[in-house]
Chains A and B, each alone.
Chain A
């Protein structure tokens, strides 16, 4: 009897771990981007080694890459010189080491965790790594996917393997059904609120239960994406018909007979009845409301209808509230906001943009609010435009950009000004994450769009009802 994680782990053990040495774990898919690879390519160069399996490696640019159309397609120079240099460096490295690059103007470029699934490269049972902590996203397909540092990026380049200790397992069982206006983002924020930001440390989470099974693939990606915000090594969801329906026909998924055979194998990738997890946490989806963060880590989260808790005297808590300019005991609703960001590897897929458009259709972004809508990939961008979502955003007064990480991490020119409040669909509300002094409130695309319309933190159900 094994858990899903244990089955995938065993399929990739080149050398099992011993007391003295970690396991040698095989990696099926290595996703790479411009920010965490330059130093790893240098390691290969110093030793005169090639990238061992360029066929299992894919590069794109997203983190320091601009989202302004004129800088991506219009021939305007990239406004940040060091970002331009990093982008050129990735182009040179990929050419030198023979790695496929979905470069700046490529029609398939996008955020690394959006394009892996979109291309059908992310598949059940694979091991997926990337020099980015939100690699946990790919676990939505029943892959074992986790973030690594640049030294480990070099390890995978050189050997297609990593030295790893086997993590523990944590079952997060979500019963019941999410209510209208409550999304996958609210669910994962509630889970992080329950576990705490270190609650998953050393563990791989398997999300289970009725509410998880009911999520579509994009919702499952949102949930797995933020596993790292609970400290977990990875998050996984067992593959099922929802997974196969989403994946079938994608260009790099198995085709024809190979597809049928793959599905047969993937059907074995579920936790056996009676298999033991090291820990289990239970939640009731019916009780979850639209959630929003008030502090400087994703565990500092409350229902949008709630009040900021009283934990005065705790140094980190007091510092967080001082940074945020918020008061213990005060309600979060109706707080004025000046920026709204829809995007990031957490919430930039088509269904996220549809959610935001549902709220914005026929409405306007409040005066004094800057709203940025940044699709997760160029494919998502074109799909959204084909449905006319871009026009809804632009007519509402929002900006519609090229794909990239954008305002999630303030290193590509898109930032929240110091002292300003931003309702963001991204994954981290750390101090300065969206720019030095920026104050981030993490929420779902519905809540973010509703807050843009009112110019204040808003429960999206108020706008969805009418």
Chain B
């Protein structure tokens, strides 16, 4: 995984609450056997009509969204299914971070394992960002600070180990695999359950 320290971008705003993983990537696109290409189907049923033509009123189809790597979304983003395809669709499309007041647990875990930073902010910050679509933000992973607006900044929480892995481009499986001696010892000595 590539190391990441700073994300700077204009925002795309999807203010709805409870955007579930079935919206991010509908199940019919889950019949793939690789990680590639899910970006084409990101938010498929909101982005395209039943004929497959782009819906002009959907935010990702507007010229202002082009090149943006930060998505601002309503509370409880990524609820529902455990499908990691949701994180793959967002990153394959080009997003590097999502800002919301709350993330669903499994989505947050999946995002962090794919270099997509979930940035949790308080309600007033989210309200400001939602009211200012296309504004420039800076996500500073090293200092865990979100900078926005006219020089405003707020810290954001992130699991320390996930942050360490993102900053250094380390993949968590390598770390877990290095614990095999402890795992083997556990198997030898554990209590029955």
Could you tell me which A residues sit within 8 Å of B by CB distance? 8, 11, 14-15, 19-22, 24, 26, 28, 35-36, 38-39, 42-43, 49, 63-64, 80, 82-83, 85-86, 89, 123-126, 131-133, 135, 147-152, 154-155, 158-163, 165, 167, 197-198, 201-202, 228, 231, 233, 261-262, 265, 297, 315-316, 319, 409-411, 418, 428, 430-433, 436-437
Contact = CB atoms under 8 A, between A and B. Distances in A.
A262 B193 CA distance: 7
Contacts of B144: none
B45 interface: yes
Interface residues of B, number: 55
Nearest to B77: A198
In the A-B complex, the 9 residue pairs with the smallest Cβ-Cβ separation, listed nearest first, are: A149-B84, A82-B31, A38-B33, A147-B82, A149-B110, A125-B193, A411-B27, A198-B76, A133-B82
Contact of B183 (A24, A35, A86, A147): A24
Contacts of B105: 167, 201-202, 231, 233
Interface of B is mostly: loop
B118 to A, nearest CB: 12
Contact of B83 (A28, A36, A43, A315): A36
A417 to B, nearest CB: 11
B179 A161 contact: yes
Contact of B27 (A80, A149, A159, A410): A410
Contacts of A86: 31, 33
Given A428-B80, A430-B20, A152 B186 contact: no
Contacts of B159: 22, 165
Given A149-B106, A150-B84, A198 B75 contact: yes
B28 A411 contact: yes
Contacts of B143: none
Considering residues B17, B75, B175, which has the most beta carbons from chain A within 10 angstroms of its beta carbon? B17
A155 B179 CA distance: 12
Contacts of B104: 198, 201, 231
A148 B106 contact: yes
24 contacts: A11-B191, A11-B193, A14-B179, A22-B159, A64-B30, A82-B32, A125-B193, A133-B82, A149-B82, A149-B84, A149-B106, A149-B110, A149-B113, A159-B180, A163-B161, A201-B76, A261-B192, A297-B18, A409-B81, A410-B26, A430-B22, A432-B26, A432-B45, A436-B26
A11 B23 CA distance: 37
Interface of B: 15-18, 20, 22-23, 26-28, 30-35, 45, 50, 74-76, 79-84, 87, 102, 104-106, 109-110, 113-114, 159-161, 164, 172-173, 175-177, 179-180, 182-183, 186-187, 190-193
Contacts of B192: 261-262, 265
B182 A319 contact: no
A433 B23 CA distance: 9
A85 B33 CA distance: 8
Contact of B76 (A20, A89, A159, A231): A231
A24 B82 contact: no
A89 B18 contact: no
A133 B177 contact: no
Contact of A315 (B16, B31, B186): B16
Nearest to B35: A39
B179 A131 contact: no
A168 to B, nearest CB: 11
Given A89-B33, A161-B176, A198-B76, A14 B83 contact: no
A161 B113 CA distance: 16
A36 B84 contact: yes
Contacts of B173: 43, 151, 154-155, 158-159
Contacts of A150: 84
A15 B182 contact: yes
Contacts of B31: 35, 64, 80, 82-83, 85-86, 411
